Amino acid sequence: MSRTGGRFFRYDEALDLCPHVRDATAAAVKAIDELTRDYAAADDPEAEREAFDAAYRQVVARWAAEIEALGGEAKGLWLVDFDAGDGYFCWKHPEPALAHFHGYDEGFAGRIPVA
């Protein structure tokens, strides 16, 4: 069992999920972009701030739930890890593929190329 109670992934298994992760993330990024554009165009942005913040949090929470349903871990905004048993395969939007790994203690800053 992984550190978060989920499963361990071989690289090929995590790689197979990457298109779904990219699609879910692209949809969430687009939704955030639309929210931000609408908020910026509001006549009174301060009056809209609370609604904007709530909608933003909802998009991010929905994205994180979608990632977790796939078996990944949403580690930050648009950052997804797959537990490999000795660290994580790591992807961040808008990277084209799952191409990095980092140990449990190194985090994002310690990422190294997979191949």
Residue from 65, 71, 64, 69 nearest 89 by CA: 71
pLDDT for the residue numbered 3 = 65
pLDDT for the residue numbered 47 = 92
Residues sharing a CB contact under 8 Å with residue 36, sequence separation 6 or more, in sequence order = none
d(CA 54, CA 64): 15
pLDDT for the residue numbered 1 = 57
**Judging by beta carbons within 10 Å of its beta carbon (0-12, 13-18, 19+), is residue 89 exposed, middle or buried?**
buried
pLDDT for the residue numbered 25 = 98
Q: Compute CA distances 47 → 26, 33, 41, 54, 59, whole Å.
A: 28, 19, 12, 13, 20
Consecutive 10-residue runs of the chain (115 residues): their mean pLDDT?
A: 77 97 98 97 93 98 97 97 97 97 94 92
pLDDT for the residue numbered 115 = 76
pTM (2 decimals)? 0.91
